[in-house]
């Protein structure tokens, strides 16, 4: 039926342009509140600013289990790499295990048949570990690392730091905060390409 085909084409176009329709395409049961709509708008602007080389910065500070990582660390990288497959992403968390969990979820999104009806971006068949993977036929890719770990030799258009501090006890430690700041300034920030963006997602512990 022509109408059904036209509606499907329109949904695909909308999912390419807007993050929330993309999320709901991959997960039709996703229920978005006003805060999730607001996060999606900010992430859309962040993506555009990265593409334009405007060096954007975005911090999402919300309580645990509020849905920030689902949008910002799983769905957003998949959506952004769909639009810009030559971009590189480095994603860091308080340990490498959590960072690789985010990486695996982004890969799952890229391999979803619903994703593949929207974007041409595909995983490289020979370079797809949870620690690091590449985009087939493009220069982009994804690296997962623990905060404080080495990412020497890597570069990125987007630096994601999701849950750099594990809990309130760590947040209350001046030593932990100082080490985190030193790592950011001496290691993480130096990996950012000119005009690249930094996004921090965490609970506002301190």
Q: pLDDT by residue (tens digit) across 120-171?
A: 999 999 998 999 999 999 999 999 999 887 776 778 999 999 988 888 899 8
Confidence band (pLDDT; 50, 70, 90) for 179? Answer: very high
**Which of helix, strand or coil describes residue 66?**
coil
Half-sphere exposure of 153 toward its Cβ, with a 13 Å CA cutoff? 2
Q: pTM here? A: 0.93
């Amino acid at each position: 039926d022509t109408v059904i085909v036209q509606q499907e084409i329109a949904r695909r176009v909308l999912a390419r342009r807007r993050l929330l329709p993309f999320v709901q395409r991959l997960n039709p049961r996703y229920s978005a509140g006003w805060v999730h709509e607001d996060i999606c708008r900010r992430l859309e602007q962040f993506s555009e600013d990265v593409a334009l080389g405007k060096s954007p910065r975005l911090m999402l500070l919300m309580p645990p289990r509020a849905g920030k990582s689902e949008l910002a660390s799983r769905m957003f990288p998949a959506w952004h790499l769909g639009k810009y497959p030559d971009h590189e992403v480095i994603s860091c968390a308080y340990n490498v295990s959590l960072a690789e969990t985010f990486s695996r979820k982004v890969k799952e999104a890229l391999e979803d048949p619903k994703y593949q009806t929207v974007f041409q971006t595909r995983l490289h068949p020979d370079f797809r570990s949870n620690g690091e993977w590449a985009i087939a036929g493009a220069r982009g890719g994804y690296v997962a690392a623990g905060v404080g770990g080495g990412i020497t030799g890597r570069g990125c258009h987007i630096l994601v730091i999701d849950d750099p501090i594990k809990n309130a006890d760590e947040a209350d430690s001046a030593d932990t905060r100082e080490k985190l700041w030193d790592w950011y300034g001496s290691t993480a920030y130096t990996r950012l390409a000119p005009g690249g963006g930094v996004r921090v997602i965490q609970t506002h512990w301190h």
